[in-house]
């Protein structure tokens, strides 16, 4: 399977993807901290040694959060994003986890459609959440069983 846990050697490729998409500004140290944290589930999608996408989740007891998910522009609309999302959601324990949350820029309609396609529902707007004053759209999915792994996404 091309999805595996992220390790330190993957960080330069993850940073390149992040830079290509220009949506986040995590640095190498932040990724190092995340992949070592016991509550983080970070995965990459690798094809022939090439990192094509990644996702970072916090698994926090009853509530979990998708912190970041990205797929290189050249590989979008191939289902990789959906597979990365499903990989993280599959780690949720239905006995302990009720929701997975995320926030996304209100104007990022492409990402919002992706999340909605994969079972997330809008539950609020956080005004002026981002440094530039843009609002965040708040999403959640109730249970991983609500996510249909056969859906194709970004």
Q: CATH number for the domain including 113?
A: 3.40.630.30
Residue 93 confidence (pLDDT): 65
Separation CA 115–CA 130 (nearest Å): 19
Residue 60 lies in a domain: yes
Residue 32 confidence (pLDDT): 96
The residues pairing with 64 across neighbouring beta strands, listed in sequence order, are 59, 100
Residue 41 lies in a domain: yes
Q: Which residue has the higher pLDDT, 1 or 117?
A: 117
Q: Which residue is associated with the tokens 């290509």?
A: 20
| Range of the structural domain that residue 55 is part of | 3-146
Separation CA 18–CA 5 (nearest Å): 18
Per-residue pLDDT, averaged over 39-66, amounts to: 91
Per-residue pLDDT, averaged over 62-67, amounts to: 88
Name the burial class of residue 105, with classes exposed (0-12), middle (13-18) and buried (19+) by CB atoms within 10 angstroms of its CB: middle
Q: What's the pLDDT band for 153 if we cut at 50, 70, 90?
A: very low
Separation CA 6–CA 118 (nearest Å): 23
Number of domains in the chain: 1
Q: What's the pLDDT band for 1 if we cut at 50, 70, 90?
A: low
Residue 139 lies in a domain: yes
User: What is the SS3 string spanning 4-41?
Assistant: EECCHHHHHHHHHHHHHHCCCCCCHHHHHHHHHCCCEE
- What proportion of the chain, given as a percentage, has pLDDT over 70? 86
Per-residue pLDDT, averaged over 31-52, amounts to: 94
Residue 37 lies in a domain: yes
What is the tens place of the pLDDT at every residue in 109-142?
999 999 999 999 999 999 999 989 999 999 998 6
Residue 152 lies in a domain: no
Residue 114 lies in a domain: yes
Residue 104 lies in a domain: yes
Q: What's the pLDDT band for 99 if we cut at 50, 70, 90?
A: confident
Lowest mean pLDDT among 22-31, 90-99, 136-145: 90-99
Residue 63 confidence (pLDDT): 82
Residue 151 lies in a domain: no
């Amino acid at each position: 399977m091309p999805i595996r846990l992220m390790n330190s050697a993957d960080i330069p490729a993850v940073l390149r993807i992040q830079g290509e998409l220009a949506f986040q500004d995590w640095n190498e140290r932040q990724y190092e901290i995340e992949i070592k944290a016991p509550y983080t589930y970070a995965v990459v999608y690798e094809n022939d040694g090439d990192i094509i996408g990644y996702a970072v989740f916090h698994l926090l007891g009853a509530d979990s959060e998708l912190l970041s998910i990205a797929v290189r522009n050249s590989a979008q609309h191939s289902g990789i994003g959906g597979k990365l999302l499903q990989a993280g959601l599959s780690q949720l324990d239905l006995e302990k986890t009720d929701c997975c949350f995320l926030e996304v820029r209100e104007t990022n309609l492409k990402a919002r459609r992706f999340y909605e396609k994969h079972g997330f529902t809008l539950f609020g707007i956080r005004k002026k959440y981002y440094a530039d004053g843009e609002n965040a759209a708040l999403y959640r999915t109730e249970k991983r069983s609500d996510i249909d792994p056969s859906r194709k996404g970004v």
